[in-house]
């Protein structure tokens, strides 16, 4: 069964969603982040994906107090990304209660450093965040495209134990147009020893069922939940049925 991982993006301690990473195309939601994590836990969800958008801008974690509150919710593991540029920041998010740390730009631009973190903190806790646009890796809040394909990026870290990759198709993120099925089936087939998380474009439970039928293992769902296209009841029913 594919694992459903709800997403929460945070600015100023509030839940928000951005369209294609654009801070000027922001929707702010009423629910408090820890409250949302509890709602997800009540549905049977066991992992929640958090992006500290303030941290991403500041290049260091900025919502650690919010993380601490979310991490107190029983039965849920928090995967946290945004602003993890040095070892101190990674330690801070683990100390605040995150179970997993997501690293993107540093991994692409300073691969030796991320390789060190894989060894220092353990591959079971470190997640490679690979944002792609037309097959090429994008960094720095999607403002810089590198001449680096995702396969090359993954190959850099396999010798160091890489086991978890979140791949976000930028062209689909926040657009509710369905994920890039071909991209993810290709990656999972090419690297069967790595758990890939589908990210970007999920618009309905039908998308999730199709990903499941393709033997993909994890999927992040964000805007579809907040826009009412996928309800918490839908998620609970799906988890119970498996």
Beta bridge partners of 196: 165
State how beta strands 144-149 and 126-133 pair.
Answer: unpaired
Q: Out of 131, 169, 173, 234, pick the active-site residue.
A: 131
Q: Out of 9, 52, 173, 234, pick the active-site residue.
A: 9
Contacts of 190 (CB under 8 A, 6+ apart): 151
Give residue 142's pLDDT.
57
Q: Is 193 in the active site? A: no
Give residue 21's pLDDT.
63
- In this structure, whether the domain defined by 3-241 belongs to CATH 3.20.20.70 is answered with yes
Report the alpha-carbon distance of residue 99 to residue 62 in Å, rounded.
17
Each domain of the chain, given as residue ranges in start order, spans 3-241
Give residue 174's pLDDT.
56
Give residue 63's pLDDT.
97
Q: pLDDT 10s per residue in the chain (242 long)?
A: 999 999 999 999 998 877 666 777 777 877 899 999 999 999 999 999 999 999 988 999 999 999 999 999 999 999 999 999 999 999 999 999 999 999 999 999 999 999 999 999 999 999 999 999 877 888 766 565 768 999 999 999 999 999 999 999 887 655 567 899 999 999 999 999 999 999 988 999 999 999 999 999 999 998 899 889 999 999 999 999 98
Q: Is 9 in the active site? A: yes
């Amino acid at each position: 069964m594919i694992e459903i991982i709800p997403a929460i993006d945070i600015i100023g301690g509030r839940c928000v969603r951005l369209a294609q990473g654009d801070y000027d195309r922001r929707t702010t939601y009423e629910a408090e982040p820890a409250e949302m994590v509890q709602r997800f836990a009540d549905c049977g969800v066991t992992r929640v994906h958090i992006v500290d958008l303030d941290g991403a801008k500041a290049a260091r974690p900025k919502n650690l107090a919010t993380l601490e509150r979310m991490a107190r919710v029983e039965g849920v593991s928090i995967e946290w990304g945004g602003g993890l540029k040095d070892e101190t920041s990674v330690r801070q998010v683990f100390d605040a209660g995150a179970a997993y740390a997501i690293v993107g730009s540093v991994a692409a631009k300073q691969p030796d450093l991320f390789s060190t973190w894989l060894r220092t903190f353990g591959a079971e806790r470190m997640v490679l965040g690979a944002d792609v646009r037309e097959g090429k890796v994008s960094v720095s809040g999607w403002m810089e495209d590198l001449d680096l394909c995702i396969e090359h990026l993954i190959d850099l870290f396999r010798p160091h134990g890489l086991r978890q990759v979140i791949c976000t198709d930028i062209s689909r993120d926040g657009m509710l147009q369905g994920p890039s099925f071909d991209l993810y089936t290709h990656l999972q087939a090419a690297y069967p020893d790595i758990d890939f998380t589908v990210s970007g474009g999920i618009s309905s439970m039908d998308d999730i069922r199709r990903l499941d039928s393709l033997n993909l293992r994890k999927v992040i769902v964000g805007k579809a939940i907040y826009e009412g296209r996928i309800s918490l009841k839908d998620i609970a029913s799906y988890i119970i049925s498996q």
